Amino acid sequence: MRAFPNTDERINKPDGVILLALAAALFCLPSASRSQEQQQPGVFSDKQLRQAVELRDLALSSADAFRHVASLTMEVGPRLAGTSGDKAAVAWALATMHELGLQNVRAEDVTVSHWERGTIEVGITMPYPQPLAATALGGSIGTPTDGIEAPIIRVADLDELSATPDNEVAGKIVFFDRRMQASKDGDDYTETVKARRDGPAKAAAKGAIAVIIRSVGTSSARLPHTGRTRYDDAIRQIPAAAISNPDADMLAMQLAGGEAVTVKMNMSARYLEDERSANVIGEIRGASRPDEIVILAAHLDSWDLGTGAIDDAAGIGIVLETAAQIIRSGRKPARTIRILLAADEEFGLSGAKAYADRHMAELHSHVVGMEADFGDGKVWRISTLFPDDRLEIATAIHAPLESLGIELGDNKTGSGADISEFKKLGMPVISLGQDGTDYFDYHHTASDTLDKVNPENLRQVVAAFVTATWLAASGDVDFGFREPEEETEE
């Protein structure tokens, strides 16, 4: 009896459907997960669980998110906010949603910045001249037309910069040289990206004339990574670029020699006029609770260097195919499942902000939010951000995910950026954490291309998304709503 806890009372119920569901579960699931799937009788109905498991198993064998990824990356390709690719992506998303049978398909206008990477040449000029593979950080200004040439000093990170006297920084180029470590959850990104985001402003405040960072990435390919930097309105803007890991090694090695090292940079990055883009939205309308929304987000824009396959065509494929699997099943959820393909996640989050502004009146109708923006890795952990008294829901959602190799994480997850505005205001969040061990080998580089996406992995991810989505949307489980978060300075 210990092997099948909590099952007796249901087996004794005069309900053939439940017996069928149990039988199906016993036949279809590895033994390790059998018991858990039945452990939370109070959270989801047996019917919901049975349907979720059916959808899950169908997705494992039939989901074809890869097709959407291939289509978006081949037919549209790079789609940086404001570019023609960005507009083509919006058209692609509208057409694809219609084709998949989503309802209320629409584009909601978003105004986006339009920054142009331009050309770049960076090289060591002393003591040993060497070209460096470099790219502008997103939002950087360019250099004067003739470029700039100056001594360069190395600091590991913002802390070391802060500890360096201003007179050692003034008039120089600052080289931030922290190497990112790969891991399953990619958590070293958070620490390493600080110099990319804030380094130029902090260095300029000390009198630096430009910044070069070691790419925030884990690849040994000689391809620099890009990503947004942000200036401080009160501080002079200075040009900022990233160099690849091998180039950072070269620069660090020349600096380690003890001789003065000078670097020349010439960049033509600049801003053009703002452009119009759009959040693209489609829904599966809820049958009985249509005004309650389970939102699944991914972002439609990408950086310009690659074709945005892992970032975030993979996420687009995952959330679109999650909807497609549910539509094809013929099942109608109680709640509305809303797919948000957000504009401009990479450059300014203007899509996320525009969605929040436009839908603020619906804030409390957002029952729970999920986002796919971490590539093609299999889901290995489900984490949540629920009110503290609703943790049994997390356990109940986890049960049918266990056979997919997914463990139950904590209740402290962040969210993807596209749903972060409502998350800050208290919307519950489910994070299906994907294995990102190799994500930062390709992320924000020219190598972010379709060949990095594993179709088999995506099937598992869709299976996880469809399971969680169905459990959240098919009944009336009350996720509650969290307290709004306090504003903290990042």
Positions that interact with a second copy (CB under 8 A)? 70, 74-78, 128-131, 133, 219-223, 245-247, 249-250, 253-254, 306-307, 445-447, 449-452
Q: Which is nearer to a second copy, 283 or 304 (CB)?
A: 304
Q: Who's near 441: CB < 8 A, 6+ residues apart?
A: 182, 217, 218, 219, 221, 447
Q: Which is nearer to a second copy, 78 or 82 (CB)?
A: 78
| Least distance between a second copy and beta carbon 132 (Å) | 11
Q: Who's near 254: CB < 8 A, 6+ residues apart?
A: 124, 127, 128, 130, 261
Give the DSSP letter of residue 228.
B
| Least distance between a second copy and beta carbon 130 (Å) | 5
Q: Which is nearer to a second copy, 226 or 449 (CB)?
A: 449
Round to whole Å and give the CA distance between 205 and 8: 69
Q: Which is nearer to a second copy, 209 or 250 (CB)?
A: 250
| Least distance between a second copy and beta carbon 318 (Å) | 21
First-to-final CA distance of the chain: 52
Asked if 338 contacts 283 with a C-beta cutoff of 8 angstroms, the reply is yes
Q: Which is nearer to a second copy, 76 or 318 (CB)?
A: 76
The owner of tokens 């498991």 is 53
| Least distance between a second copy and beta carbon 82 (Å) | 17
Strands (E), 54-119: 103-116
Look at residues 9, 102, 46 and name the one whose alpha carbon lies nearest to residue 340: 102
Q: Which is nearer to a second copy, 77 or 475 (CB)?
A: 77
Q: Which is nearer to a second copy, 127 or 414 (CB)?
A: 127
| Least distance between a second copy and beta carbon 344 (Å) | 21
Q: Which is nearer to a second copy, 76 or 419 (CB)?
A: 76
The owner of tokens 């883009």 is 277
Kindly report the length of the chain. 490
Torsion angle of C-alpha atoms 22, 25, 27, 28, degrees rounded to 10: 160
Q: Which is nearer to a second copy, 306 or 333 (CB)?
A: 306
- Residue 481 has phi, psi (to 5 degrees) of -145, 140
Round to whole Å and give the CA distance between 399 and 90: 37
| Least distance between a second copy and beta carbon 439 (Å) | 14
Asked if 173 contacts 208 with a C-beta cutoff of 8 angstroms, the reply is yes
| Least distance between a second copy and beta carbon 65 (Å) | 17
Q: Who's near 380: CB < 8 A, 6+ residues apart?
A: 184, 405, 406, 407, 433, 434, 435
Q: Which is nearer to a second copy, 248 or 427 (CB)?
A: 248
| Least distance between a second copy and beta carbon 93 (Å) | 16
| Least distance between a second copy and beta carbon 125 (Å) | 13
Q: Which is nearer to a second copy, 243 or 394 (CB)?
A: 243
Q: What are 454's two structure tokens?
A: 């594993």
Asked if 352 contacts 421 with a C-beta cutoff of 8 angstroms, the reply is yes
Helix axes 314-329, 65-75, angle to 10 degrees: 130
| Least distance between a second copy and beta carbon 305 (Å) | 8
The owner of tokens 């960049």 is 267
Strands (E), 129-261: 130-132, 134-136, 148-155, 173-176, 210-214, 240-243
Asked if 371 contacts 294 with a C-beta cutoff of 8 angstroms, the reply is no
| Least distance between a second copy and beta carbon 254 (Å) | 7
| Least distance between a second copy and beta carbon 133 (Å) | 6
Radius of gyration of the chain (CA): 24
Round to whole Å and give the CA distance between 100 and 269: 39
Q: Which is nearer to a second copy, 12 or 130 (CB)?
A: 130
Give the DSSP letter of residue 430.
E
Q: Are strands 262-267 and 148-155 parallel, antiparallel or unpaired?
A: antiparallel
Round to whole Å and give the CA distance between 292 and 341: 19
Q: Which is nearer to a second copy, 118 or 131 (CB)?
A: 131
| Least distance between a second copy and beta carbon 219 (Å) | 7
